[in-house]
Amino acid sequence: QQQVKQSPQSLIVQKGGISIINCAYENTAFDYFPWYQQFPGKGPALLIAIRPDVSEKKEGRFTISFNKSAKQFSLHIMDSQPGDSATYFCAASGDTGNQFYFGTGTSLTVIP
């Protein structure tokens, strides 16, 4: 059973557009929600993360929106660039401490 559901599976966006990736979870014990970016042939790298005590976190062109009541969170990439083309994973972890649960990934392609 997938603990974190991610959509869409793939996304194509024009340069300068907004990319939006959504994730949903069921386990209310989750209290940490990171997003990872992965380029082909590389390991995932932390992009941005949020805790449920805030509804939004912004870092440069990347924003996480968090809706605790709906148990959903999303990644918004503003002014998307071809260099943003990668696979993005959402994840969640909770008071069990050591286990991250990852979404299935979204392959983003930004067209010049």
Partner 1 sequence: NAGVTQTPKFRVLKTGQSMTLLCAQDMNHEYMYWYRQDPGMGLRLIHYSVGEGTTAKGEVPDGYNVSRLKKQNFLLGLESAAPSQTSVYFCASSHPPFRLADNQETQYFGPGTRLLVL
Instruction: Give me the residues that bind partner 1 (CB under 8 A), please.
Output: 2, 4, 6, 9, 32, 34, 41-46, 48-51, 57, 89, 91, 93, 97-105
Closest approach of partner 1 to the CB of residue 55, in Å: 14
- Look up residue 102 and give its two tokens: 């990852």
Closest approach of partner 1 to the CB of residue 93, in Å: 8
Nearer CB in complex with partner 1: 57/76: 57
Measured CA to CA, the distance from residue 55 to residue 65 in angstroms comes to: 6
Closest approach of partner 1 to the CB of residue 82, in Å: 23
Q: Is 37 helix (H, G, I), strand (E, B) or coil?
A: strand
Measured CA to CA, the distance from residue 110 to residue 112 in angstroms comes to: 6
Angle CA 4–75–109, to nearest 5 = 100
The DSSP secondary-structure symbol of 54 reads: -
Nearer CB in complex with partner 1: 12/45: 45
- Look up residue 65 and give its two tokens: 């929106």
Closest approach of partner 1 to the CB of residue 57, in Å: 8
Nearer CB in complex with partner 1: 85/102: 102
